């Protein structure tokens, strides 16, 4: 039964996750695929696709793809039990998974592995999380028909660390057009009277928040505050023995509309990460006319291209100089906004969805 041509399921594990990162990727590809099916796009011809979910999703406006609810066993809730045991029993035909950890028992399978970070920088992850990735990802690389990933850099890493052979790995970037739906006018976030630079704070060491904090005195001298949104708290700031900068404002998690307002009002967006699978916040900033200063580390030059300015992730003075240029040179600022907008426009969820539909058709035609 699982070899039924044209019959596919989407792994809906993402509906139980926070709508960021890999879950946003899954949601947006699913919605774009749904639009292509609804519009009768040639790429969707002959495909019958169902979304299988562990719980009823919130705010997932599908017009064509039907839902199948396979309730998650939750007494007790066991990590990966739904994905590895319950989901495979419900799949007829092929399966597409978007969120790294996916069923290893299904071979008519397209699985997205976003990066190899747990292999490259294991110290950034909890032991159980790291172990699950170390065990499941190579098994997926062996069993699935195709592995997708979100950049050429990630493709190289998946091959280098023995997660999947090169001939199986297809790059299916991210889109950026979802950010155009964010509306700054709906935000109730209050910003202060001084101009600010924006960054997204994460506690993982490779996110390199320490560089932003080292910039703080120079930015203070320039009359700039630092707005840091995201999952970082006072007790997880990498202060290096120094006191908290007076010009730092921790915002915590913010809504998409709040983020649109922050992007549109910032002098620039700082993205100092030492490595990314794709680096979606950078192109989201570009959509909202926010100049981007990104790390010259992989893979941000690949993704941002001419749409961003770049600086060494270990050279805070280079970042401060780039901020000063954007603050003082209005022509440069306008040029970077235009370049960023053009670069972001090259990343669309429809194109990513078409990549997946094409892979499904290839598998069906191969039998």
Q: Is the pTM of this model over 0.95?
A: no
Average per-residue pLDDT for the chain:
94
Burial class (CB in 10 A: 0-12, 13-18, 19+), 128: exposed
pLDDT for 8 equals 98
Six-digit token string for 48: 């019958």
Q: Where are the domains of the chain?
A: 7-175+348-366, 179-344
pLDDT of res. 336: 98
Residue 265 has what pLDDT? 97
Options 3.40.50.2000, 3.90.1570.30, 3.40.50.300, 3.40.50.261; CATH for 179-344 is: 3.40.50.2000
Terminal Cα-to-Cα distance of the chain (whole angstroms): 13
Q: Which residue has the tokens 């039924």?
A: 4
What are the angstrom distances between the C-alpha of 27 and each of 55, 86, 300?
14, 21, 23
The predicted structure's pLDDT at residue 2: 47
Q: What confidence score (pLDDT) does residue 3 get?
A: 53
Q: Which CATH architecture has domain 7-175+348-366?
A: 3-Layer(aba) Sandwich (3.40)
pLDDT tens, residue by residue, 96-141: 999 999 999 999 999 999 999 999 998 888 999 999 999 999 999 9
Q: In what order do the strands lie in the sheet with 109-112?
A: 67-69, 48-53, 7-11, 94-97, 109-112, 146-149, 169-171
Same fold, 7-175+348-366 and 179-344: yes
Residues in the chain predicted with pLDDT less than 70, given as ranges, are 1-4, 241
Q: What is the per-residue pLDDT across 5-25, written as a single tens digit (0 to 9) for each?
A: 799 999 999 999 988 889 999
């Amino acid at each position: 039964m699982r070899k039924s041509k044209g019959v596919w399921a989407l792994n809906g594990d993402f509906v139980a996750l926070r709508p960021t990162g890999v879950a946003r990727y899954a949601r947006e590809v699913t919605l774009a695929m749904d639009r292509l099916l609804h519009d009768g796009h040639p790429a969707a011809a002959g495909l019958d696709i169902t979304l299988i979910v562990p719980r009823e999703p919130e705010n997932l406006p599908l017009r064509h793809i039907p839902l199948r609810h396979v309730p998650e066993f939750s007494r007790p809730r066991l990590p990966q039990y739904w994905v590895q045991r319950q989901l495979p029993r419900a799949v007829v035909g092929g399966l597409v998974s978007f969120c790294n950890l996916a069923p290893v028992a299904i071979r008519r399978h397209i699985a997205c592995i976003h990066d190899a970070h747990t292999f490259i920088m294991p110290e950034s992850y909890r032991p159980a999380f790291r172990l699950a990735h170390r065990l499941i990802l190579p098994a997926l690389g062996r069993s699935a028909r195709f592995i997708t990933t979100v950049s050429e850099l990630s493709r190289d890493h998946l091959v280098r660390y023995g997660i999947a052979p090169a001939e199986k790995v297809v790059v299916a970037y991210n889109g950026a057009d979802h950010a155009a739906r964010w509306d700054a006018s709906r935000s109730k976030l209050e910003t202060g009277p001084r101009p600010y630079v924006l960054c997204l704070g994460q506690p993982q060491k490779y996110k390199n928040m320490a560089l932003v904090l080292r910039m703080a005195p120079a930015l203070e001298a320039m009359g700039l505050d630092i707005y840091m949104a995201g999952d970082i708290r006072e007790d997880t700031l990498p202060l290096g023995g120094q006191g908290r900068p007076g010009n730092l404002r921790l915002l915590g998690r913010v809504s998409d509309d709040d983020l649109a307002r922050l992007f549109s009002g910032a002098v620039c967006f700082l993205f100092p990460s030492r490595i990314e699978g794709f680096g979606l916040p950078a192109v989201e900033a570009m959509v909202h006319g926010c100049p981007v200063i990104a790390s010259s580390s992989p893979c941000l030059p690949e993704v941002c291209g001419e749409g961003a300015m770049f600086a060494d992730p270990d050279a805070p003075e280079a970042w401060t100089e780039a901020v000063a240029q954007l603050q003082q040179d209005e022509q440069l600022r306008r040029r970077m906004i235009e370049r960023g907008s053009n670069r972001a426009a090259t990343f669309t969820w429809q194109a990513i969805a078409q990549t997946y539909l094409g892979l499904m058709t290839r598998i069906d035609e191969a039998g």
